[in-house]
């Protein structure tokens, strides 16, 4: 058996929790998007938004980096229609939502 195999196996074991955490963050971000945004926005990689004026989340990255939403979510998004909630998000929830948004962006 090659001597580097145990080291490679150890590195894979050490890396897996980090990779799983990123997936867990995206899953939690999807749950937040479903609960807080899914009534108006298409939150998945396909499908139409329930409210036609609400952009699908998968297209947000076409106009700007999704990380740019951090400040707006922290301060409360103010939109030109009454259906858009303007309550500020916690930093933890913002990070989870951004992690999810990064997984569904289309070019």
Q: What is the pLDDT of residues 62-89, one digit of tens each?
A: 999 999 999 989 998 877 667 788 889 9
The 3-class secondary structure across 57-104, one letter per residue, is: HHHHHHCCCHHHHHHHHHHCCCCCCCCCCCCCCCHHHHHHHHHHHHHH
Any idea where the domains of the chain sit in the sequence?
A: 25-104
- Quick one: fold of 25-104? Cytochrome Bc1 Complex; Chain D, domain 2 (1.10.760)
The candidate with the shortest Cα–Cα distance to 26, out of 59, 72, 66, 81, is 66
Over the chain (107 residues), the average pLDDT of each successive run of 10 is 42 38 86 95 96 94 94 83 84 97 94
For the purposes of burial, counting CB atoms within 10 Å of the CB of 9, is it exposed (0-12), middle (13-18) or buried (19 or more)? exposed
In this prediction the pTM is 0.75
């Amino acid at each position: 058996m090659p001597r580097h195999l145990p080291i490679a196996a150890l590195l894979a074991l050490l890396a897996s929790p980090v990779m799983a955490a990123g997936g867990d963050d995206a899953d939690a971000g999807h749950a937040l998007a479903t609960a807080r945004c899914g009534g108006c926005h298409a939150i998945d990689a396909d499908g139409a938004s329930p409210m036609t004026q609400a952009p699908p989340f998968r297209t947000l990255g076409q106009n700007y980096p999704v990380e740019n939403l951090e400040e707006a979510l922290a301060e409360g998004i103010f939109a030109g229609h009454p259906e858009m909630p303007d309550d500020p998000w916690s930093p933890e929830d913002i990070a989870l939502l951004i992690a999810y948004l990064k997984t569904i962006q289309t070019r």
